[in-house]
């Protein structure tokens, strides 16, 4: 935060973190406005991850259809595109897990871990 002058920085996530630190230092608690901004940022991140995954699926399908087409045009012998499809498919499954099932560590998780293993 800038003290005694104006800041030319646009309000954004970095500035919210600074505000959160100031609020936390003064009172030991984060205000509802800062928490709401954090929830909005998390929602935006989840939406972006879903869109990125959708783009990944489209690229996977287009590229692998092209490879299968090349295989078919060049004689359709040994099905070599399976190596690309299987390898990339593993990456796609991991991306899906990260996007849809992985959940970030929260303060409640940390508190629960501290209760289980104090010190």
> pTM for this one?
0.62
Domain of 51? Answer: 13-104
Alpha carbon distance 1, 21 (integer Å): 10
DSSP state of 80: T
Query: Per the domain annotation, does 88 fall within a domain?
Result: yes
Q: Which of 12-26, 28-42, 49-63 has the lowest mean pLDDT?
A: 12-26
**Tokens linked to 28:** 């030991």
109 inside domain: no
User: Is 119's pLDDT higher than 60?
Assistant: yes
**Contact (CB, 8 A) for 31 and 16:** no
Residue 80 covered by a domain: yes
CA distance 28 to 24: 4
* Ramachandran region, residue 104 (left: φ > 0; alpha: ψ -120 to 50; beta: rest): beta
Q: How confident is the model at residue 71 (pLDDT cuts 50, 70, 90)?
A: very high
> Domain for residue 42, yes or no?
yes
- Number of compact structural domains in the chain: 1
Residue 35 has pLDDT above 50, yes or no: yes
Domain membership of residue 113 (yes or no) is no
């Amino acid at each position: 935060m800038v003290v005694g002058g104006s800041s030319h920085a646009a309000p954004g996530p970095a500035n919210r973190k600074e505000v959160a630190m100031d609020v936390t230092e003064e009172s030991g608690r984060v205000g509802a406005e800062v928490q709401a901004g954090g929830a909005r940022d998390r929602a935006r991140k989840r939406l972006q991850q879903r869109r990125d995954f959708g783009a990944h699926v489209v690229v996977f399908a287009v590229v692998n259809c092209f490879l299968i087409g090349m295989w078919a045009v060049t004689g359709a012998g040994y099905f070599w595109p399976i190596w690309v499809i299987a390898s990339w498919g593993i990456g796609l499954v991991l991306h899906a897990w990260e996007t849809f099932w992985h959940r970030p560590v929260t303060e409640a998780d940390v508190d629960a871990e501290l209760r289980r293993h104090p010190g």
